């Protein structure tokens, strides 16, 4: 459903990416009012914003003062999305300053507010910036973690503005939850998600693997970020754009995935093992390409890979929620219940795979089995829908016995 959006633009080089984000908003039918900071016009001019949005552009609350624009825009907005959000802009927003039109709107807005930071790594990691981010999140704002990658010059690291398509997907999810009257129920929570399929090397050119594309794990990550969580995504051999607002760690093999997940799970409120992990790996890896000799090949000796889900469940700390995935081709419920009992997670998502189902597709169908005996069927539909069901079940378990937020839960903006 079309919405009224205020697109705030901070004074950073990444402002050019906001042009594509604006295009995605308008092509979807949303009415967008661009509100840049004065200095941001040094990077992208007012004429560009006006032409792309079809709306007037102003930076000062004194422009068209008779219309009191900061009050009107703040009250009318159904989403305020700031991209890029510079260190200076985050600081002014956290301090509650209202020295230009954008910061005045931020004080007026009672809709969801999303900040997409972009700055050099040292600025993002500075204690002052981290404190400002914590303050904004505590107030119910969604502050996405920046992506890692090339910055200005030769610099690289955390601080890059995520790609416009991923920012747009984050906005879509926030708007959908607002339309449903749902608050960001994972605000203040730390979650860890694995995605993709592991590869076990035979030699420098061959591996044992599976068909997992990582789409379900990435949908879980996007959805958790839109619901306010701090997300770590451990990605195994996935060729997808990094979800906006997540920290991505890339791995290849099951043993690498094991190390990354056990380390990331420390201090996490919820851990979701959505990756497809190879059950076995070669006992030995050849340093050279294995050549045909004309004779029968040597038997391939395999050893069992670690059961990462079982380790996570066994080592869970009090209050931590563990979720596993089980891909089956037959007898889904029977095999699923056996795995739930054997591995010990709180929830097990059982889905049918093979012959064009689940792997590599945009939709999924599953049954979520719980350790308490409950069963939640999820009919075939977009993987985002399954992701929301999983997080609904996780959020309910993270809440107190009366449905009240736990000690780390925070209320969202109205």
Report, as residue numbers or ranges, the catalytic residues: 210
- Cα 411 to Cα 142, 240, 399, distances in angstroms: 12, 32, 12
If one counts every other C-beta atom within 10 angstroms of the C-beta of residue 91, the result is 15
User: Which of 123, 166, 121 is closest to 144 using CA atoms?
Assistant: 166
How far apart (Å, rounded) are the C-alpha atoms in residues 369 and 380?
A: 17
User: How many residues are present in the chain?
Assistant: 414
What is the number of alpha carbons within 13 Å of residue 413 lying toward its C-beta? 26
User: Which of 245, 222, 6 is closest to 110 using CA atoms?
Assistant: 6
| Parallel, antiparallel or unpaired: strands 200-203 and 280-282 | unpaired
């Amino acid at each position: 459903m079309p919405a009224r959006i205020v697109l705030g633009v901070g004074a950073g080089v990444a402002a050019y990416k906001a042009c594509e984000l604006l295009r995605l908003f308008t092509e979807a039918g949303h009415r967008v009012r661009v509100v840049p900071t004065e200095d941001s016009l040094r990077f992208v001019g007012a004429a560009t914003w006006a032409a792309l949005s079809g709306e007037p552009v102003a930076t000062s609350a004194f422009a068209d003062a008779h219309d009191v624009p900061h009050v009107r825009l703040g009250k009318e907005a159904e989403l305020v999305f700031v991209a890029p959000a510079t260190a200076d802009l985050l600081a002014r927003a956290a301090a509650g300053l209202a020295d230009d039109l954008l910061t005045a709107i931020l004080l007026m807005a009672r809709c969801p507010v999303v900040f997409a930071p972009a700055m050099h790594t040292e600025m993002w990691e500075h204690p002052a910036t981290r404190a400002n981010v914590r303050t904004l999140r505590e107030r119910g704002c969604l502050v996405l973690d920046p992506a890692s990658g090339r910055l200005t010059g030769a610099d690289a690291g955390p601080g890059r503005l995520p790609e416009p398509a991923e920012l747009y997907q984050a906005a879509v999810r926030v708007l959908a939850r607002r339309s449903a009257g749902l608050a960001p129920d994972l605000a203040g929570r730390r979650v860890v998600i694995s995605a993709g399929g592991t590869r076990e090397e035979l030699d420098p050119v061959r591996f044992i693997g599976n068909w997992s594309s990582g789409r379900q794990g990435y949908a879980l990550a996007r959805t958790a970020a839109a619901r306010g969580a701090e997300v770590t995504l451990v990605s195994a051999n996935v060729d997808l754009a990094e979800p906006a607002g997540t920290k991505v760690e890339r791995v290849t093999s099951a043993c690498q995935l094991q190390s990354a997940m056990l380390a990331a799970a420390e201090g996490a409120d919820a851990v979701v093992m959505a990756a497809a992990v190879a059950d076995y790996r070669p006992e030995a890896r050849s340093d050279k390409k294995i050549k045909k000799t004309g004779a029968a090949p040597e038997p391939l000796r395999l050893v069992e890979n670690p059961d990462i889900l079982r380790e996570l469940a066994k080592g869970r700390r009090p209050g931590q929620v563990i979720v596993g995935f089980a891909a089956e081709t037959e007898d889904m419920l029977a095999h699923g219940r056996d795995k739930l009992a054997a591995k010990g997670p709180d929830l097990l998502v059982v889905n049918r795979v093979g012959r064009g189902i689940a792997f590599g597709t945009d939709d999924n169908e599953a049954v979520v089995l719980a350790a308490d005996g409950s069963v939640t069927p999820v009919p075939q539909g977009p993987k985002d829908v399954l992701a929301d069901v999983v997080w609904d079940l996780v959020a309910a378990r993270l809440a107190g016995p009366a449905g009240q937020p736990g000690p780390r839960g925070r209320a969202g903006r109205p």
